[in-house]
Amino acid sequence: MKLAWMYCSEFHKNGTYDLDFKNPNSNTADYLSSDKLADVYLDFIKDFPMVSIEDPFDQDDWAAWTALTAKTSIQIVGDDLTV
């Protein structure tokens, strides 16, 4: 079994990422920086048979996109990035 992770860039808030974005009372102290979110992705890639991630970061977070693609060989899809 292979996995693909489709992650919306909609949980981007004020330069950070809210993984609890469906909770209207999410704690801002738990928001992740781009680097920390990349670490979450890399841990999943290491631990599970990931083949692809779609929209791992906000469409304007170019530095994060570049850094993640340099650290992994799986497919990184950017439909929000490329529109």
Give the DSSP letter string of the chain.
--EEEE--GGGEETTEE-TTTT-TT--GGG-B-HHHHHHHHHHHHHHS-EEEEE--S-TT-HHHHHHHHHH--SEEE-TTTT-
The domain tally of the chain equals 1
pLDDT tens digits for range 12-38: 888 899 988 889 999 999 999 999 999
Q: Is residue 31 part of a domain?
A: yes
Q: Is residue 35 part of a domain?
A: yes
Domain of 59 in residue numbering reads as 3-77
pLDDT tens digits for range 1-18: 676 666 666 788 888 999
Q: Is residue 82 part of a domain?
A: no
